[in-house]
Amino acid sequence: MGKQASPARRPDPLDDRLAAMQEARAALRDDTRAAHEGAQELRAATREARELLGKLIEGEVTDRLGAEVAKGLESYQEVVDKAITDASDAVFRRFDRMVAALLGDDTDQPLEETLRRYRDRQQFLEAGLAKAGNAAAGVQAASPKGPAAWTP
């Protein structure tokens, strides 16, 4: 007798399922790998965005602070200049009053007027002393004893 032909083997449904599961597993691995790579790229992009944002914010803050500081310094300089001017004027007015008071003049007069009066008074006194000196010299010349000695 001869060999009998073996019946044709029918595909087993379990083998088909196993093959489908292996394909799905390979696809899942590929998808998982792609997701991990995407997450890494997203983290890198987020890091770059934060760094860029930090630089932009730093520049913006520097610009705003610079403008605010400049405005504050300008305002401060105006106040300081006004205070210096006011204080200088007060010192000059006080000096004018002190000079006038020391010279015996009206304290409401400005310094220039007070100094003019002082020079006029000085010239008057010098002229008066010169006359008195001339008169005293004449008296001393007329005295037989000579110049009078001062006694305490």
User: Which pLDDT value is given to residue 120?
Assistant: 82
User: Which pLDDT value is given to residue 151?
Assistant: 45
Residue range 38-77, pLDDT digits in tens: 999 999 999 999 998 888 888 888 888 888 988 888 888 9
User: Which pLDDT value is given to residue 27?
Assistant: 93
- Please name the residue that has the structure tokens 């305490």: 152
Q: Do 86 and 72 touch, CB atoms closer than 8 A?
A: no
Mean pLDDT for each consecutive 10-residue tract of the chain (152 residues)?
Answer: 60 84 93 93 93 86 88 89 90 82 66 74 78 61 49 44
Which pTM value belongs to this model?
0.35
CA 57/CA 120 separation, integer angstroms: 73
Q: Where are the domains of the chain?
A: 19-139
Long-range contacts of 87-92 (CB under 8 A, 24+ apart): none
Three-state SS across the chain?
A: CCCCCCCCCCCCHHHHHHHHHHHHHHHHHHHHHHHHHHHHHHHHHHHHHHHHHHHHHHHHHHHHHHHHHHHHHHHHHHHHHHHHHHHHHHHHHHHHHHHHHHHCCCCCCCHHHHHHHHHHHHHHHHHHHHHHHHHHHHHHHHCCCCCCCCCC
